[in-house]
Amino acid sequence: MTTRRDFLAQTGRGLASLGLANMVGGLDRLWPNARAVADEQVITILHTNDVHSRIEPFPRDGGRNAGLAGAARRATLIRRIRAAQPHTLLLDAGDVFQGTPYFNLYKGVLDFRVMSALGYDAMTIGNHDFDAGIDGLLAAREHARFDLISANYDVSGTPLAAHVQPYRIYTVGPARVGVFGLGVMLEGLVPSELFGGVRYEPPVGVARRMARRLRREERCDLVICLSHLGNHGYKGEIGDQLLATDVEGIDLVIGGHSHTFMEEPTRVAHRGRETLVFQVGWAGIFLGRVDFRFRGGVLQGAQAAALPVDARLPQAADAAGLVAPAALTPRA
């Protein structure tokens, strides 16, 4: 597995060869065929995972992540990609909460307001998203203009029932994109008083049901799983790589939980179709991008990359109308 240090070095060298102007002003040169020809359409999926309340860049303190990440920089990158690729979906694979004093002060409200300002479409629920309890998650949910999706967390009979759906279908350009979520087992990982009556169901059976339903009944052109299972699982549970092998009908597994830096997706072959598995580390250091190419309504293939979110992007505080922390009242 590529380490974070190796990944940063390799990606930095590759982007340096393209030039700084390309990085911030001509992003489509990273994908030579990204602009569709007359009979093609490109559907772009942007994704993050395990951002952990990293609103500001890491401080320039000599640490290994010094100067990296930051929500305003990510906003700039997202905005410029959308300007070039209007058929874009922005997703997160969980653990938005916990990790910096911003979560301690605002209990996730600021995180969800920032995500809303950046135009996220959906996220799945990670284990740390219960760190303020169900009530805290619901209080932050009031500030979210995106969907909460989880198919293997049974929230019926809990206050989350009206706010969490197993899947959603998005119309992105000419395509119907079905997105469902999977989460790690909470028992033994999260104090029971924080996740209340939420019940966990093993993910493989759920994923098969979701893939069949979205593919056959809902007639989706793309099926995406937002997974907070970990790249190779957690304490004996199945992870994204085995899930992609065992379950057909999923085009893309966007991973989280294990903080795995992947330079490119794993590709798992199935009959007539492949499943991509991609995860981009943690803290918003990278933004994942996957371009699916269609011709005549038929999927032709996909290209992917992890884009660094660092000082090569301007720190425009108003890049997406970000909410200043001072505008919020800390929650006790």
pLDDT tens, per residue, the chain with 332 residues: 455 555 555 544 444 333 333 333 344 444 444 444 557 899 999 999 999 999 999 999 999 999 999 999 999 999 999 999 999 999 999 999 999 999 999 999 999 999 999 999 999 999 999 999 999 999 999 999 999 999 999 999 999 999 999 999 999 999 999 999 999 999 999 999 999 999 999 999 999 999 999 999 999 999 999 999 999 998 889 999 999 999 999 999 999 999 999 999 999 999 888 999 999 999 999 999 999 999 988 999 999 999 999 876 644 333 333 444 445 555 44
What is the pLDDT, as a whole number, of residue 31? 42
* 173 is a domain residue: yes
Confirm whether 84 is domain-assigned: yes
Tell me the residue type at 258: S
Helix (H) or strand (E) holding 266: strand 266-270
DSSP H helical segments within the chain, as ranges?
4-18, 20-25, 71-84, 101-106, 109-118, 133-141, 192-195, 203-212, 240-246
Q: What is the total count of domains within the chain?
A: 1
Q: Could you tell me if residue 328 is inside a domain?
A: no
Q: Say which residues have a Cβ less than 8 Å from residue 71's Cβ, sequence separation at least 6.
A: 54, 55, 56, 114, 118, 284, 322
Identify whether 64 is part of a domain: yes
Residue 294 lies in a domain: yes
Which domain does 202 fall in, by range? Answer: 40-322
Return the pLDDT at 326: 47
Q: Tell me whether residue 86 is in a domain.
A: yes
CA–CA separation, 303 and 318 (whole Å): 30
User: What is the pLDDT at residue 175?
Assistant: 95
Neighbours of 34 (CB within 10 A): 18
Q: What is the pLDDT of residue 89?
A: 98
Is the residue at 212 inside a domain?
yes
Alpha carbon 4 to chain centroid, angstroms:
18
CATH number for position 61: 3.60.21.10
56 inside domain: yes
φ, ψ of residue 314 to 5 degrees: the values are: -65, 145
